[in-house]
Structure 1
Amino acid sequence: MRHTVPNLASSGEPDAAEWVARLQNRPNDLGLRRDFDSWLKADPANKDAYASAWDAWARLGALSDEPEILAARARLKAELAADQRRRARPQVRWAAAVAALVTAGGFGTALWLATAPSDHAPAVAPAQTAQAVYRTGVGEQKTITLADGSVATLSTDSVLRVTEWGARRALTLDRGEAFFQVAKNPQRPFVVTADGRTVTALGTAFNVRVDPGKWSVSLLEGKIRVADPAAHNSVDLLPGSRLEQQAGSTWAVAAADVAALTSWRDGSLTFDDQPLAEIVGELNRYSVRKIRIDSPRVAATPMSGRFKTGDVSGFVDALSAYGAAKVKTGQSGEIVLVSP
């Protein structure tokens, strides 16, 4: 399998191409992200150069539909089935499955697994006005560089509004999930409102998520204050902690693997000994075609690993190959998982 990658150096953009590669390989490196933001601001032409380099890189994402990739997946499925016959119902470990797929598919497949989907291309906001609205569809991701240099990354099916942009930098997450990397400015507080609660930061990196009946905040770096004005309640979070609240319950703050919770930014989801029902619920957020579990035993099956967002076919193929569930098609076209 041979794929041609454009020679970005010949178009005068070697720095832009190098930034694309670095950010893909180290998506959670906050120091690297700060250096990249400084590079963007150093020259107005850098934004256009980066957008062009990203487009060339993102085109590699189309490899997922090529015959070689599909054949690699089929070989993986056969290998998993053979392994299942040798062992008695092993726990599914996605890391091993992904490694096998990379080996089976070769260099092109490895690029496909490492490359973010084309709809992850960054959107640069050169100026900020109140009531600006940013949206993502199901399975889409969008990165927005705000006028002050802060960066907001929206996950699937999310809506973020800029509600004030003056002495205070204020945004509201109406739906979904967003990760914020805040440019320091003590004179201009950065405030995100979600489900009636506020998250205030000066210079930090944090994740906010709103679900039906639940909301949460996770902190990667710095310090934030979460407040509920209606309840006159507030709490300060430290790095590596997560605050979560179910409807009608009190706030719960605990240590968390925040890197895993925010792995959606590099196009993957990380699970650690979680019930299949919870995993399917998360995967369904990123796919138009939904998965439904029609078996309490299958729903309770614990699994671990890392999986590509939106790759429903690969997920159910592996479940079937391991004998963890049988796969059927529902009347409305959804994927139904039943007991094997």
Structure 2
Amino acid sequence: MTTGNSHPQTDIRRVEAEAREWFMLRGERSLDADEQSAYDTWMQQVHNRSAYQRLEQIDRSLAALAAGEEGARLRQRGGLDGFIEKLRGLFGNLGGAGPATGVAFACTLMLAVGLVYLAPAPQAPVAQAYVSELAQQRTVTLEDGSFVTLGGDSAIEAEFNGERRNVRLLRGQAFFEVTKDPARPFFVNAAGAEIRVVGTRFDVHAGSPLNPSVKVTVEEGIVDVASEASATAATPKVRLVAGQQVRVTEQQMSRVHTVDASRVASWRQGKFSYRDAPLSEVVADANRYRKNRIVIGTRELENLRVTTAFNADQADTLVAMLEQSLPVRVFKEPDGRVVIWPGTVED
């Protein structure tokens, strides 16, 4: 599959053929890293995106029919004959589709009929997984048009249905730009925290084994945050607006902090800034941007408070910065791993 248009005059048949290939491939399985990169590049072209969105429109229409009484009737013997007439009406409502596009999309529609209508029952949506590599930032487009920017060594799973949009932040950090859809709220779950929005821009930091609290920061809009234990808590959720931040664990939430809304998720520009943050958080972030890991040698150092800033390309020099500003000693082992010990440790 190509990743864009090679001629000023758009080849409609080729664009629609590529759209069908991507549509069917994404329906069969999750894309690997190279395929996802090619798909993201392909979707940046307006003609490509328009063709793909028409397929999604058709798919949603078929799914809605299949879920209702009409779908049940179509599964019965002879029901498919009446449905052919409905297809003709659906072609007429797509808008902008000429004779060539009508023929091309007919193939996809008939395939969808076989998969959706003739199946014993509608199948559950398949979660789509997206992963970024070490020291890599990656922006992906979800099926509803929302954008997610993944920090280094991060991963999410997205699973949408007709009632809600669900994303799980499995590890790392992600910035969300959510397309508004009041009929389908957008949920993000991460290590004991649930974030609910309709359409907004916010950042979620999943924490680490040493510092498991989830950090939620809002750049724009309104975000509701709850912990998994909120059902029995006195305060079931916290509402955040632009420039506010909260930390969440499975049992509790911190008080709301005020931050500079213009600097939310500055890591997208490769800049990391910390004010009175635990050393474990700083180290976990740095480890997502450097090959040789930094290890905290003793638990007493995990919550040592740190105020510092560094660029992503300075992650390798962070340990020297920490040694200069904190009561710690840094030791580099033969395999390249760096261990941080209290400053009182003997050589």
TM-score by length of 2: 0.52
Residue in 2 that maps onto 1:312: 315
Pair 1:177–1:281, CA change in 2 (3 A): closer
Q: How does 1:252-263 map to 2 (within 5 A)?
A: 252-260=255-263, 262-263=265-266
Pair 1:285–1:44, CA change in 2 (3 A): same
- Is 227-236 or 200-209 further displaced after alignment? 227-236
Residue in 1 that maps onto 2:221: 222
Residue in 2 that maps onto 1:206: 202
Name the aligned partner's letter for residue 144 of structure 1.
V
Pair 1:143–1:42, CA change in 2 (3 A): closer
- Please state how far the C-alpha of 1:146 moved relative to its aligned partner: 2.0
Residue identity over aligned pairs, in percent, reads 30
The answer on 1:147 being equivalent to 2:150 is: no
In 2, Cα distance between equivalents of 1:312 and 1:270: 12
The answer on 1:133 being equivalent to 2:129 is: yes
Pair 1:324–1:229, CA change in 2 (3 A): closer
Q: How does 1:285-296 map to 2 (within 5 A)?
A: 285-292=288-295
- Please state how far the C-alpha of 1:205 moved relative to its aligned partner: 0.5
- Please state how far the C-alpha of 1:286 moved relative to its aligned partner: 2.6
> How far does the alpha carbon of each residue in 1:78-122 deviate from its partner, in whole angstroms, 9 at most, with x for none?
xxxxxxxxxxxxxxxxxxxxxxxxxxxxxxxxxxxxxxxxxxxxx
The number of equivalent residue pairs is: 221
Q: How does 1:154-233 map to 2 (within 5 A)?
A: 154-211=150-207, 212=209, 213-228=212-227, 231-232=230-231, 233=236
In 1, Cα distance between equivalents of 2:307 and 2:276: 5
CA contact (8 A) 2:158 2:166 kept: yes
- Please state how far the C-alpha of 1:285 moved relative to its aligned partner: 3.2
- Please state how far the C-alpha of 1:203 moved relative to its aligned partner: 1.5
Pair 1:249–1:242, CA change in 2 (3 A): same
Pair 1:242–1:328, CA change in 2 (3 A): same
Q: How does 1:261-276 map to 2 (within 5 A)?
A: 262-272=265-275
Name the aligned partner's letter for residue 203 of structure 2.
N
Match of 2:285 among 258, 282, 300: 282
In 2, Cα distance between equivalents of 1:321 and 1:228: 37
Pair 1:44–1:210, CA change in 2 (3 A): same
Pair 1:239–1:162, CA change in 2 (3 A): same
- Please state how far the C-alpha of 1:265 moved relative to its aligned partner: 1.4
- Provide the secondary structure at the position in 2 that maps to 1:311: helix
Residue in 2 that maps onto 1:68: none
> How far does the alpha carbon of each residue in 1:37-87 deviate from its partner, in whole angstroms, 9 at most, with x for none?
xxx87823699xxxxxxxxxxxxxxxxxxxxxxxxxxxxxxxxxxxxxxxx
CA contact (8 A) 2:158 2:168 kept: yes
Q: How does 1:68-147 map to 2 (within 5 A)?
A: 130-147=126-143
Task: Please say which structure displays the higher CA radius of gyration.
Answer: 2
CA contact (8 A) 1:216 1:244 kept: yes
- Please state how far the C-alpha of 1:322 moved relative to its aligned partner: 8.6
CA contact (8 A) 2:330 2:340 kept: yes
In 1, Cα distance between equivalents of 2:213 and 2:219: 20
In 2, Cα distance between equivalents of 1:154 and 1:291: 21
Quote the RMSD (CA, aligned, Å). 3.8
CA contact (8 A) 1:131 1:162 kept: yes
CA contact (8 A) 2:193 2:248 kept: no
Residue in 1 that maps onto 2:243: 240
The answer on 1:334 being equivalent to 2:330 is: no
Pair 1:217–1:316, CA change in 2 (3 A): closer
CA contact (8 A) 1:283 1:310 kept: no
Pair 1:227–1:256, CA change in 2 (3 A): same
TM-score by length of 1: 0.53
Name the aligned partner's letter for residue 132 of structure 1.
Q
Structure 2 segments unaligned to the other structure (5+ residues):
1-6, 9-42, 51-124
Pair 1:287–1:301, CA change in 2 (3 A): same
Residue in 1 that maps onto 2:111: none
